[in-house]
Amino acid sequence: MIIKMDNENTNTLRNYEFVNSYIIRVFAIPIMSYLSQTDPEIANAIEAELGRERHVLEMIPSENFVSRAVLEALGSVATNKYAEGLPGQRYYGGCDEIDKLESLAIERAKKLFGAEHVNVQPLSGAPANIAVYSALLKPDDAILGMDLSHGGHLTHGSPVTWMAKLFNFIRYKTTAEGKIDYDHIRTMAHEHKPKLILVGYSAYTREIDYAAIKTIADDVGALTMADIAHIAGLIAAGEMNNPVTSFDVVTTTTHKTLRGPRGGMIMCKKNHAKAIDSAVFPGLQGGPHENNIAAKAVAFKEALKPSFKEYAKQIKKNAKALEKVFTGSNAKLMFGGTDNHMLLIDVTPLGLSGKEAQIVLDSVGITLNKNMIPDDPRSPMDPSGIRLGTPALTTRGLKEADMERIAQTILDVLTHRTDDGVKDKARAMVKELTEKHPLYPDFSYL
Ligand SMILES: *Cc1c(COP(=O)(O)O)cnc(C)c1O
Q: Is the dihedral of CA 172, 174, 180, 182 positive or negative?
A: negative
Half-sphere exposure for 222 (CA within 13 Å, toward CB): 28
Pocket test for ligand 1, best of 120, 147, 153, 340 (most atoms within 8 A of CB): 153
Q: Whose CA is nearest to atom 8 of ligand 1?
A: 125
Q: Which residues of 339-369 are buried (b: 16+ CB within 10 A; e: fewer)?
A: bbbbbbbbbbebebbbbbbbebbeebbbbbb
Element holding 249 (H helix, E strand) = strand 249-253
d(CA 349, CA 36): 48
323 is catalytic: no
pLDDT for the residue 183: 93
For strands 385-389 and 369-371, give the pairing. antiparallel
Digits of tens for pLDDT over the chain (446 positions)? Answer: 233 334 443 333 344 444 445 544 454 444 557 899 899 999 999 999 999 999 999 999 999 999 999 999 999 999 999 999 999 999 999 999 999 999 999 999 999 999 999 999 999 999 999 999 999 999 999 999 988 878 888 899 888 999 999 999 999 988 877 789 999 999 999 999 999 999 999 999 999 999 999 999 999 999 999 999 999 999 999 999 999 999 999 999 999 999 999 999 999 999 999 999 999 999 999 999 999 999 999 999 999 999 999 999 999 999 999 999 999 899 999 999 999 999 999 999 999 999 999 999 999 999 999 999 998 999 999 999 999 999 999 999 999 999 999 999 999 999 999 999 999 999 999 999 999 999 998 888 88
pLDDT for the residue 444: 86
What are the percentages of helix, strand and coil residues in the chain, rounded to 5?
50, 15, 35
Set 81, 256, 355, 423: catalytic member: 256
d(CA 250, CA 266): 6
Pocket test for ligand 1, best of 227, 289, 369 (most atoms within 8 A of CB): 227
418 is catalytic: no
d(CA 84, CA 94): 12
SS3 196: strand
Q: Is the CB of 395 under 6 A from ligand 1?
A: no
Q: Is the CB of 202 under 6 A from ligand 1?
A: yes
Q: Is the CB of 64 under 6 A from ligand 1?
A: no
For each of the domains in the chain, give its residue range(s) and CATH number, in order of start: 77-303 (3.40.640.10), 312-436 (3.90.1150.10)
Q: Whose CA is nearest to atom 4 of ligand 1?
A: 125
Cα 130 to ligand 1 centroid, rounded to whole Å: 11
The CA-atom distances, in angstroms, between 362 and each of 245, 382, 439 are 41, 16, 19
Cα 295 to ligand 1 centroid, rounded to whole Å: 18
Cα 290 to ligand 1 centroid, rounded to whole Å: 20
Partners of 387 in the beta sheet? 344, 369
Q: Could you tell me where the beta strands, DSSP code E, fall in 77-220?
A: 85-86, 89-90, 117-119, 142-146, 168-172, 196-199
Q: Is the CB of 292 under 6 A from ligand 1?
A: no
Residues with Cβ < 8 Å from 164, sequence gap 6 or more? 157, 158
Q: Is the CB of 62 under 6 A from ligand 1?
A: yes
Q: Is the CB of 251 under 6 A from ligand 1?
A: no
155 is catalytic: no
Give the global pTM: 0.92
pLDDT for the residue 32: 52
Q: Is the CB of 365 under 6 A from ligand 1?
A: no
